[in-house]
Amino acid sequence: MFYSENKHILQLVALLERHGVQTVVLCPGSRNAPLVHTMAACGRFRCLAATDERSAGFMALGAALADQAPAVVCCTSGTALLNLHPAVCEAFYQQVPLIVLSADRPAAWIGQMDGQTLPQPGVFGMLVKRSVQLPEGDDEESLWYANRMINEALLETTHRVAGPVHINLPLHEPLFRFTAEALPEVRRIERSGAADMDSLRNMFWKAGKRMIVCGQLPFAVAGRLEQILTECGGTKDVVWLSEPLSNLSSEGTCACRTFDAALYAVGREQLSGYAPDLLITFGGHIVSKRLKGFLRRYRLREHWHVAADGAVADLFCALTRVVETEPEEFVRQIYALDSGVEKLPYGCSLPDYAVDTTASDFAALWQQTCAAVTAPQPEATVYSSLYAVGELLRTLPEGVNLHLANSSSVRVAALYPLPRHTAVYCNRGTSGIEGSLSTAIGIAAVTKTLNFIIIGDLSFFYDMNALWNTGLRGNVRILLLNNRGGGIFNTLPGLEMASDIRTYVGAAHETSARGWAEERGFIYLTASDKASFTAALPDFVSTDISRPILFEVFTDTDRDAAAYKDYFHGLK
């Protein structure tokens, strides 16, 4: 028996089976015929026929109740879908895992007086736990996207409180090509919780090459993680990668902080040896595009994302498991701190762990490679934004708040070590330039801690009204990197800009913050070379000055880009 050649249909049906669906109720129609044919032909479901969608929906609801498992109702496009509304409503309020599969016309034909068309995505509104629209293309990215959305929807049927979901599939003609001989191997994403930690611990320590990537974390959470890692004796035989936004100190966790530069230094042809067998991620956003590209390229076998809300975040296109717990609780359980198990080194309770050198060799490879990478040295760095940020971070007092604006500021700061007990903040949720200054001012307004803000000119002038607010205090220090435009655009590979184009792409300008800063009561410092920067820096970092300070550092955008690139080229 052959199946539909449509790749989304094949993947959808394969995932229904992998997620344990037993019963499907099939309604007649031409648009959904390829889907019905494939589900009926594969022989892996209990198929029930129903002509009237109003009845079909309730039949599927009854099957789900009897099976104590999600059940499917499949319908064609148009008003057929609307007739499922009462059953969907009942499933929502009775908390029954009902899966609605609807075939649809291509989006281009909706509202164009074509037959059996209406806006189907989201038609059930708040009465479903998840509604997804599968893509129309079948390129590699579209298939990954569809896989992720189908997994998300199917997981949601029984997540915390059960309920209905809706998967809408636009189908192009010709519809009736049945040439596929088998369902494909598909990636199933699973969800685990606190009850699964014993098995997860065993899987973790048996995985071989293990890597944990820590994204953005609040300072307090990072502190609790460091305490747990201290209790379990460190992170040996597990590669930990963390950026400044993670707020994890490299001293306390043995985390590799220079991984972005290290990946560049290794070279693409040797990178395969740095790919893990098991990747664990937690925390918020990760800045490094190089790390994202590397981990996406090597098709990871296992990726677990740890998230308290259980949300699916498939950043590296390889997610296999969501672990629904807090990061610190996951680490505590993985290292068996509360289990009463007699532990081998580093919290491992597995008898075969001591003779397995794969993990230790992998960790040593990463640690040696990252240790060989040093931050840009001031004597070897031309006067630039790179130089200014490095000199500030070398002289930063301990125990301050460090605020990083997006674009260049957060990337340049990641190249340098930070003093102990530095709390790092950045609006990395959406990575926009708006609000970086205002957020920092808000934190400064409610704390006594000294707040240092590294911000580029476009971010500053976009948000300069933050200084208009009353109540500014002396715990605000702004390092304004003014290279007269969006300097990050000069570092993007493949983007070459003529001088007139810079006005539009890079927002080139000739603006200074001096008048605004002085009018708002700031001490204004400025620098345009190494000598003037060195002369002003002691006052800027002084803890004895009680007025807010704005230090405007003028640099050249081309020299900034060259200094950044020269640093990385020097790593080869």
Query: Which domain CATH number covers 178?
Result: 3.40.50.970
Contact residues for 450 (Cβ-Cβ < 8 A; gap 6+): 397, 400, 401, 475, 477, 543
CA neighbor of 279 nearest in space, from 307, 303, 243: 303
3-state DSSP assignment of residue 200? helix
pLDDT value at residue 237: 85
Strands 190-192, 321-323: pairing is parallel
Strand partners, 73: 25, 100
- For residue 369, give the nearest of 269, 287, 286, 267 by alpha carbon: 267
Examine the fold and report which residue of 371, 397, 429 is the final residue of a domain before the chain moves on: 371
Q: Are residues 552 and 404 in the same domain?
A: yes
Which residues touch 447 (CB under 8 Å, ≥6 apart)?
401, 475
| DSSP code string of 417-458 | ---TT-EEE--TTT--STTHHHHHHHHHHT--S-EEEEEEHH
Nearest to 415, CA basis, from 364, 464, 377: 377
User: What domain range is 298 assigned to?
Assistant: 191-371
> How many residues belong to the chain?
572
**CB-based contacts of 183, cutoff 8 Å, min separation 6:** 3, 10, 13, 14, 17, 42
Assign residue 270 the CATH number of its domain: 3.40.50.1220
- Cα(534)–Cα(531) distance, rounded to whole angstroms? 5
Looking at 187, 207, 232, the residue that finishes a domain is 187
Q: Are residues 175 and 204 in the same domain?
A: no
Is residue 561 located within the same domain as residue 423?
yes
One domain for residues 64 and 198: no
Q: Is 555 left (phi over 0), alpha (psi -120 to 50) or beta?
A: beta
Regarding whether 507 and 436 lie in a shared domain, the answer is yes
The verdict on 115 and 61 lying in the same domain is yes
- 35: Cβ–Cβ under 8 A, 6 or more apart, which residues? 4, 9, 12, 13, 74, 101, 103, 169, 171
Contacts of 127 (CB under 8 A, 6+ apart): 85, 88, 89, 92, 164
Do 469 and 360 lie in one domain? The reply is no
Q: What is the pLDDT of residue 341?
A: 43
pTM over 0.75, yes/no: yes
376 CB contacts (<8 Å, ≥6 apart)? 386, 387, 390, 415, 416, 563, 567
- 459 plus 478 within the same structural domain: yes
Report how far apart, in Å, the C-alpha atoms of 78 and of each of 148, 168, 289, 295 are. 26, 12, 43, 42
Retrieve residue 140's tokens.
């590699």
What's the confidence (pLDDT) of residue 226? 87
**Both 144 and 181 in a single domain?**
yes
Residues 441 and 558 both lie in one domain: yes
Same domain, 178 and 196: no
Element (H, E) at 368: helix 358-371
Bond preceding residue 135 cis, omega within 30 of 0: no
User: Tell me, what's the pLDDT at 504?
Assistant: 53
CA gap 212, 249 in Å, rounded: 15
Low-confidence ranges of the chain (pLDDT < 70): 233-236, 250-254, 337-356, 486-508
Q: CA 494, 498, 502 angle in degrees (round to 5)?
A: 90
304 - beta bridge partners?
A: 280, 321
- Looking at the structure, do residues 386 and 286 belong to the same domain, yes or no? no
How many Å is the Cα radius of gyration of the chain? 28
Q: How many domains are contained in the chain? A: 3
Strand 476-482 relative to strand 549-554: parallel, antiparallel, unpaired?
A: parallel
CA–CA distance, 237 with 366 (Å, rounded to integer): 10
What is the pLDDT at residue 381? 94
Burial letters for 162-196: b for 16+ Cβ neighbours within 10 Å, e otherwise?
A: bbbbbbbbbbeeebeebebeebeebbbbebbeeeb
> What's residue 354's pLDDT?
41
- End of a domain among 187, 207, 233? 187
Measure the CA–CA gap between 530 and 241, rounded to whole angstroms. 33
Burial class (CB in 10 A: 0-12, 13-18, 19+), 482: buried
